[in-house]
Structure 1
Amino acid sequence: MSKQKDKSQISILIHLASMDGDIDDTEKELISRIGMAHGLSEEELQEYFDHPPEKIDFSKLSEDESFDTLYNLVHLMKVDGKIFDEEISYCMNMAKKLGYPLEAVMDLYSQVHANVKLKSEIQKIKRKYHKKG
Structure 2
Amino acid sequence: MDKNQLTILINLAGMDGEVDESERRLIMRIAHAHGLSEEDVAQIFELENHVIDFDELSDDQRFDTLHHLVQLMKVDGKIFDEEISYCMAMAKKLGYPLEAVMDLYSQVHANVKLKSEIQKIKKKYHGKG
TM more than 0.5 = yes
What is the alpha-carbon root mean square deviation over aligned residues? Answer: 1.2
In the TM superposition, 1:1-133 aligns within 5 A as 5-131=1-127
What are the Cα deviations for residues 33-61 of structure 1, in whole angstroms up to 9, with x where unaligned?
A: 11111111111111111225521111111
TM-score, length of structure 2 as denominator length:
0.94
Structure 1 unaligned segments of length 5 or more: list them: none
- By relative contact order (CA 8 Å, sep 6+), the higher-ranking structure is 2
Matched residues, percent identical? 71
Are 1:13 and 1:72, in contact at CA under 8 Å, matched by a contact in 2?
yes
* Change over 3 Å in CA distance of 1:102–1:66 after alignment to 2: same
Moved over 3 A (4+): none
Give the length in aligned residue pairs.
128
TM-score, length of structure 1 as denominator length:
0.92
Structure 2 unaligned segments of length 5 or more: list them: none
